[in-house]
Amino acid sequence: MRIVAGKHRGRVLAQFAGTAVRPTPDRVKESLFQILAPRLVGARVLDLFAGSGALGLESLSRGASEAVFNDISRENLAILRKNLAALREEALVTNLDYRVCLAQAAGQFDLIFCDPPYRMDVAAEILEMIARHDRLAEGGVVVYESEREEAAPAGWIRCDLRRYGRTKIALFERSGI
């Protein structure tokens, strides 16, 4: 696992031992960030299920102004902090359930990455919470990674869907905003 582009291009990230955590493959990350490129410079990013922090760190490398990382696992956050230190990046890191994080996060985000464990079926719940707590900035997008082709719940538009084998990435925008 590495940073694909930007100021930290080619830097290898610390990763997890074993197979309990499923990081986004580099080829998927590279494709996703080509799509997101126009939205990254100066963006405020939330990596809701951060794991090693690969998505938020890639965003910082490519010009995001701020990234907030959240994960429920302290072991994951230890890897994330190691990666932040290696890249000499500073960021807010929280150890909260995703529901609490969305309720308590400060302000709005231009990009919200949601890459929960595939066994969790929480896309509609997360999008509803983002809307209820007004966490997505005008023109912002939620990037949701799953093994299902997530449909857009009421109040949302699925503006893009990409398939990479088992991995599906859906981009959601608020409708009417």
pLDDT digits (tens, 9 = 90+) for 29-57: 889 999 999 999 999 999 999 999 999 99
Give residue 1's pLDDT: 82
116-132: burial string, b at 16+ Cβ within 10 Å, e else: beeeeebbeebbbbbbe
Give residue 17's pLDDT: 64
- In the predicted structure, residue 18 carries a pLDDT above the cut 60: no
Q: What are the DSSP E strand ranges found in the chain?
A: 44-47, 66-70, 92-94, 109-114, 136-146, 156-164, 167-174
List all residues 6 or more positions away from 111 whose beta carbon is below 8 Å from its beta carbon.
Answer: 36, 39, 40, 43, 44, 45, 46, 59, 64, 140, 141, 142, 143
Residue 162, strand partner residues? 169
Of 24-38, 100-114, 133-147, which range is least confident? 24-38
Is residue 133 helix, strand or coil? coil
Share of the chain above pLDDT 70, in %: 95
- In the predicted structure, residue 73 carries a pLDDT above the cut 80: yes
Share of the chain above pLDDT 90, in %: 76
Assigned architecture for domain 26-174: 3-Layer(aba) Sandwich (3.40)
Residue 28 pLDDT grade (very low, low, confident, very high; cuts 50, 70, 90) = confident
Separation CA 152–CA 170 (nearest Å): 9
Is residue 135 helix, strand or coil? coil
Average pLDDT, the chain: 92
